[in-house]
């Protein structure tokens, strides 16, 4: 149930230079390899979009499928003749065989009167359907209906089911598709169905419903993003589930030679090698220059961890981290979650787990150890004299959204979205406090985008060059080296401001205290309060067991002198208070809570394996490829 209102909260890019410079180098290499293809794709798909793409699959007992595609296209000018539809009709199988999907019964009509002549031709492992009339152009909204049959499309599984796994919308569509709807019927009811959409390898799910007629739907696909569907039916419903295989690998069947002569290949390889050296050198020089200009800012001439006094003159400097002195309490007004964020520039799962422990210490909930790495969280009346930061209120409301009691295990697969909101709230809080000029998450995303971009360019360059029978290594190595340089640079993404560095140094000093504190330093009358107050910070820093061990020694010494320490009220051990066997077990339990909470709160429904249902699923994860298309 919702929480009471009294629980509600209170109130560059440093990488753009390199991206621009090195992307220019990438463009030179890319254009030198495939100038004509790039221009053709761009020209063929301008000024058009698909507003609706409806597909009906009628799966047959012999393993074939009858397909009806109803495509509604909007042509914004009269520069197009119709559609180009590419249907994958062969795929690799092993080194000796390749799999084919015979395409028959092709027919095209148009209810809007668009030219529906179809020219069928082979295009490597695909069959190309050029729909339209070379002497006529089309404009406005046009509707096309394409029907055909594909053979040998099912995949028998060892669990007694047979799957139909197809990229209904292939990633080769180079134009936007507003919405896609798919229906599937077969020789038996569909007893399981899944849908994925996005870029290749995406695990993002779309709507899927099983039954006598399965349905699937997705929005905003095309432009390199596709939609895969997978369904399962009993194998007994089919008379033939064997793949159709032909001799020779896919490479042997569809060719791998290049269009260049031996001398041309040699010259192009020399160009690729020179480009590798140039790109890698440019990336290395840029990284060295950036390292001199970026990094944490600090108050020059001020003791580490301190802020300048009013009127004190100071310079803002950059440099290595200074040594810090032990600090006996956390930075002022810095919660455990915020301390974790400033220390490693990341609001991570352990920071959220430490926040839950902190809210328990402050009286917002109690934690009951249920054993088997599970805890019962029970909401309490909000304590007086305390208020919540916005991210704390977000987290607390999300944890108890379903009632005043919840098991940690019940949040598994349900909480990841709320976890992201809480983390984002931590980043916002650090920005409002002036600890960072830009959210570390944003800086890191930019840095990793650069890393991914360069590694993607490396892979694309390697495979494109290899497909053209050139030396793929020479063309890809430079971008790979640039990616390594960018990865190294990403470690410092999210530089701290001078104020942020001061808080960071204070936090390091407090962390040093938690690592080195000894039992003899504590007064018995203060020990209980200090133990509970600092435990959430110990959870965030991975020091819960050590902190509890120290207080176990304090409790033994206190008991020996007739001053027994009470068990913390906010944590109920396994078996109740009668089961409390010492502070050491409490520390171990809280350390386990941090690990279990990190796993449970971040988990999402997922799968793994070879079939579409066992985790090999995802867009373009397997099965028949849907190909793509565009205009012409």
Mean pLDDT, residues 542-567 taken together: 82
- The answer to pTM > 0.75 is no
State yes or no: pLDDT of 102 exceeds 90: yes
What is residue 301's predicted lDDT score, i.e. its pLDDT?
81
Determine how many CB atoms are found less than 10 A away from the CB of residue 529. 11
Q: Tell me phi and psi for residue 378, to 5 degrees.
A: -125, 120
Interatomic CA distance for residues 216 and 221, integer angstroms:
13
Q: Is 182 helix (H, G, I), strand (E, B) or coil?
A: strand
Contact 389, 429 (CB under 8 A): yes
Mean pLDDT, residues 195-216 taken together: 91
Q: Pull the structure tokens for residue 541.
A: 């820093």
Q: Which residues pair with 432 in a beta bridge?
A: none
Interatomic CA distance for residues 602 and 413, integer angstroms:
7
State yes or no: pLDDT of 168 exceeds 50: yes
pLDDT in tens, 244-294: 998 887 655 654 444 454 456 677 778 877 877 787 778 777 766 666 666
Quote the distance between the C-alpha of residue 502 and its chain's center.
32
pLDDT in tens, 387-412: 999 999 999 999 999 899 999 988 88
Determine how many CB atoms are found less than 10 A away from the CB of residue 21. 13
Helix axes 336-344, 416-432, angle to 10 degrees: 80
How many residues does the structure list for the chain?
A: 632
What is residue 32's predicted lDDT score, i.e. its pLDDT?
31
Mean pLDDT, residues 222-251 taken together: 89
User: Which H or E element spans position 367?
Assistant: strand 365-371
Contact 255, 453 (CB under 8 A): no
Q: Pull the structure tokens for residue 455.
A: 């590694």
User: Which H or E element spans position 4?
Assistant: none
Interatomic CA distance for residues 278 and 475, integer angstroms:
11
State yes or no: pLDDT of 549 exceeds 50: yes
What is residue 584's predicted lDDT score, i.e. its pLDDT?
65
Residue pointed to by tokens 């066997």: 581
Q: Per mean pLDDT, which range of 3-17, 162-176, 539-553 is the poorest?
A: 3-17
Q: Where are the beta strands (DSSP E) in 9-137?
A: 48-59, 65-80, 82-88, 90-92, 97-100, 103-109, 118-123, 126-132
Closest to 137 (Cα-Cα) out of 248, 48, 203:
48
Closest to 628 (Cα-Cα) out of 169, 147, 54, 16:
169
User: Which H or E element spans position 80?
Assistant: strand 65-80
pLDDT in tens, 51-91: 999 999 999 999 999 999 999 999 998 889 999 998 988 88
Q: Pull the structure tokens for residue 212.
A: 């006598």
* Angle at 512 (CA atoms; ends 509, 517), nearest 5 degrees: 125
Determine how many CB atoms are found less than 10 A away from the CB of residue 628. 22
Residues 6+ apart with CB under 8 A from 509: 305, 324, 325, 326, 327
Q: Tell me phi and psi for residue 327, to 5 degrees.
A: -120, 130
User: Which H or E element spans position 169?
Assistant: strand 161-169
**By 3-state DSSP, what share of the chain in percent is helix, strand and coil, each rounded to 5?**
40, 25, 35
Contact 171, 620 (CB under 8 A): yes
Contact 347, 441 (CB under 8 A): yes
Residues 6+ apart with CB under 8 A from 605: 413
Closest to 392 (Cα-Cα) out of 465, 334, 469:
334
192-198 and 226-234 strand pairing = antiparallel
**HSE-CB of 397 using CA atoms within 13 angstroms:** 18
Indicate the pLDDT class of residue 472, thresholds 50, 70 and 90: confident
Q: Pull the structure tokens for residue 436.
A: 């960072």
Q: What is the 3-state secondary structure (H, E, C) of 446-507?
A: HHHHHHHHHHHHHHHHHHHHHHCCCCHHHHHHHHHHHHHHHHHHHCCCCCECHHHHHHHHHH
Residues 6+ apart with CB under 8 A from 287: 485, 486, 488, 489
Interatomic CA distance for residues 527 and 561, integer angstroms:
14
Q: Tell me phi and psi for residue 490, to 5 degrees.
A: -65, -20
Closest to 231 (Cα-Cα) out of 171, 180, 184:
184
Mean pLDDT, residues 158-167 taken together: 92
Contact 65, 150 (CB under 8 A): yes
Quote the distance between the C-alpha of residue 221 and its chain's center.
18
Quote the distance between the C-alpha of residue 298 and its chain's center.
33
């Amino acid at each position: 149930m919702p929480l009471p209102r009294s629980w509600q909260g209170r109130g560059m890019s440093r990488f753009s230079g390199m991206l621009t410079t090195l992307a220019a180098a990438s463009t030179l290499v890319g254009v030198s390899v495939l100038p004509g293809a790039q221009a053709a794709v761009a020209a063929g798909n301008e000024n058009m979009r698909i507003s609706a793409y409806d597909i009906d699959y009628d799966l047959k007992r012999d393993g074939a499928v009858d397909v009806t595609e109803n495509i509604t296209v909007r042509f914004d000018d009269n520069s197009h003749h119709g559609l180009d539809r590419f249907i994958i009709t062969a795929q690799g199988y092993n080194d000796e065989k390749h799999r084919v999907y015979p395409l028959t019964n092709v027919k095209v009509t148009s209810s809007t009167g668009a030219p529906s002549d179809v020219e069928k031709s082979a295009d490597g492992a695909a069959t190309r359907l050029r729909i339209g009339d070379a002497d006529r152009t089309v404009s406005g909204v046009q509707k096309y209906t394409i029907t055909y049959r594909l053979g040998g499309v099912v995949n028998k599984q060892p669990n007694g089911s047979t799957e139909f796994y197809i990229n209904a919308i292939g990633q080769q569509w180079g134009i936007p598709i507003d919405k896609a709807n798919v229906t599937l019927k077969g020789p038996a009811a569909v007893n399981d169905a899944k849908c994925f959409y996005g870029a290749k390898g995406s695990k993002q799910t779309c709507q899927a419903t099983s039954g006598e007629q399965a349905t699937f739907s997705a929005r905003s696909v095309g432009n390199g993003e596709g939609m895969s569907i997978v369904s399962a039916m009993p194998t007994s419903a089919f008379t033939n589930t064997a793949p159709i295989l032909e001799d020779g690998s896919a490479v042997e069947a569809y060719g791998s030679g290049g269009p260049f002569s031996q001398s041309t290949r040699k010259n192009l390889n020399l160009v690729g090698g020179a480009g590798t050296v140039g790109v890698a050198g440019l990336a290395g020089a840029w990284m060295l220059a950036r390292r001199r200009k970026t990094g944490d800012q600090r108050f020059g001439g001020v003791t580490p961890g301190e802020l300048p006094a009013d009127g004190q003159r100071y310079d803002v400097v950059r440099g290595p981290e200074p040594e810090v002195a032990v600090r006996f309490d956390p930075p002022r007004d810095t919660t455990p979650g915020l301390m974790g964020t400033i220390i490693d520039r990341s609001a991570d799962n352990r920071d959220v787990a430490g926040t839950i422990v902190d809210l328990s210490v402050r009286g917002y909930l109690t934690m009951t150890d249920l054993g088997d790495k599970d805890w019962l969280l029970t909401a309490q009346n909000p304590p007086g004299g305390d208020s919540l930061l916005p991210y704390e209120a977000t987290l607390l409301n999300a944890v108890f959204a379903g009632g005043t009691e919840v098991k940690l295990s019940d949040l598994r697969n349900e909480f990841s979205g709320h976890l992201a909101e809480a983390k984002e709230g931590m980043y916002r809080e650090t920005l409002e406090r002036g600890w960072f000029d830009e959210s570390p998450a944003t800086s890191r995303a930019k840095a990793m985008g650069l890393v991914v971009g360069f590694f993607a360019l490396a892979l694309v360059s390697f495979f494109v060059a290899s497909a053209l029978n050139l030396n793929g290594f020479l063309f890809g190595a430079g971008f790979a080296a640039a990616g390594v340089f960018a990865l190294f640079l990403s470690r410092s993404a999210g530089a701290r401001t001078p104020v942020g560095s001061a808080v960071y140094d204070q936090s390091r000093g407090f962390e040093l205290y938690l690592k080195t504190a000894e039992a003899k330093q504590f007064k018995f009358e203060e020990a209980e309060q200090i133990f509970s107050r600092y435990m959430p910070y110990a959870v965030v820093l991975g020091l819960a067991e050590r902190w509890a061990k120290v207080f176990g020694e304090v409790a033994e010494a206190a008991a020996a002198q007739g001053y027994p320490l009470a068990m913390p009220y906010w944590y109920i051990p396994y078996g109740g208070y009668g089961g409390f066997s010492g502070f050491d077990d409490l520390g171990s339990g809280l350390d386990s809570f941090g690990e279990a909470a990190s796993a449970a709160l971040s988990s999402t429904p997922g799968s793994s394996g070879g079939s579409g249902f066992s985790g090999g699923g995802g867009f373009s994860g397997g099965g028949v490829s849907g190909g793509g298309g565009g205009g012409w």
